[in-house]
């Protein structure tokens, strides 16, 4: 049923949030290090932030696939769909913002 699926999706959403939080912290450290002229350290942070974004992207793809599968079997409850839509929007905005920071 829906309960297990909901839990699974929530796990994905939480994991995506965590990866993006870490990416954001690394991106901020990258900007700081770059401002101080610490190029080597800046590049490490940039790479780490990039990795976290990649993880978030993979998780995002997995959850999208998962929701597609669920939708074949039954209509996801509105609150699940709503939660996911919100999480998705946040993911897109946050990832874009982090990528922008990494372009600095």
3-state secondary structure 37-97: CCHHHHHHHHHHHHHHHHHHHHHHHHHHHHHHHHHHHCCCCHHHHHHHHHHHHHHHHHHHH
Global pTM reads 0.86
Phi, psi of 103 (to 5 degrees): -85, -15
Distance in angstroms (rounded) separating the CA atoms of residues 68 and 16: 18
Assign 9 a pLDDT band (cuts: 50, 70, 90).
confident
- Condensed to tens digits (0 to 9), the pLDDT of residues 21-57 reads 999 999 999 999 999 999 999 999 999 999 999 999 9
Assign 2 a pLDDT band (cuts: 50, 70, 90).
low
Tokens matching residue 16: 């995506």
Q: CA nearest 51: which of 30, 82, 74? A: 30
- For the cut 70, the answer to whether the pLDDT of residue 1 exceeds it is no
Largest CA distance in the chain: 55
For the chain, the C-alpha Rg in angstroms (whole number) is 16
- Condensed to tens digits (0 to 9), the pLDDT of residues 58-104 reads 999 999 998 888 888 888 778 878 888 888 898 999 999 999 999 99
Assign 15 a pLDDT band (cuts: 50, 70, 90).
very high
């Amino acid at each position: 049923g829906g309960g297990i699926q909901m839990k699974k999706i929530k796990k994905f959403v939480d994991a995506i949030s965590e990866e993006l939080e870490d990416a954001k912290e690394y991106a901020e450290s990258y900007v700081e290090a770059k401002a101080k002229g610490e190029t080597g350290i800046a590049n490490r942070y940039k790479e780490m932030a990039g990795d976290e974004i990649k993880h978030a992207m993979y998780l995002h793809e997995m959850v999208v696939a998962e929701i597609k599968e669920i939708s074949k079997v039954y209509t996801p409850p509105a609150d699940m769909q709503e939660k996911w839509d919100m999480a998705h929007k946040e993911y897109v905005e946050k990832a874009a913002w982090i990528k922008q920071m990494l372009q600095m």
